[in-house]
Structure 1
């Protein structure tokens, strides 16, 4: 990880990251966000890293139901100032972080297992339901 986005981060960074994540979910789902290029696309935000000074946020996104995720992320980055202005009132921070969208390349299962700490009694278990043909 770079200096701007150190791995782990302080409790404040994590809290602001969660706040940004929630605000973005709300923005994409309830505000009527519409871009013709993203029509029908589902945007998932599994992770947000915030810099130490809380002025930059790296938003990891998974984009489904679109032909090219790279083009969708490029569009989100072009719209980042508009998105930032929309979520700023909900953040209630002195400075709203600049938003940088990147494609999430880490599967959810890996992130889930990485959350395991040695103090836990059990290793987390991922259950997959197999489809059965009738």
Structure 2
């Protein structure tokens, strides 16, 4: 039995997306993506009411539905089972390479492990123990 070699983690490949320019997005699609980002869809899954987006972006409701479908098809937007949308994190990391490097380091650095001193009980200083023994009158 032969095993396929497992590719190692590569942040430039695994945490990036094609540029928006190369995806040939329409103005309505850009506006819809910006609306989702401006309303918190970058960090949380949010509801995207087509009527509100259409009013805010100056588009028709059907244009917003078409934009959402294309953005979801391109996987720029991820739709949850509950019908909420969030922006694909790879798109965000493409825009912020410094954060991509930090996440890549977090995924590849060794885990922090406590040593014997960290597992030992905390020592109480003389001042701390005196404070605990002192009874102060209530005034």
Bucket of the pairwise TM-score, normalised by the shorter protein: under 0.3
Higher relative contact order (CA 8 A, sep 6+): 2
- Looking at CA atoms only, which structure, 1 or 2, has the larger radius of gyration? 2
Which structure has the highest strand share of the two?
1
TM-score, length-scaled by structure 2: 0.25
TM-score, length-scaled by structure 1: 0.26
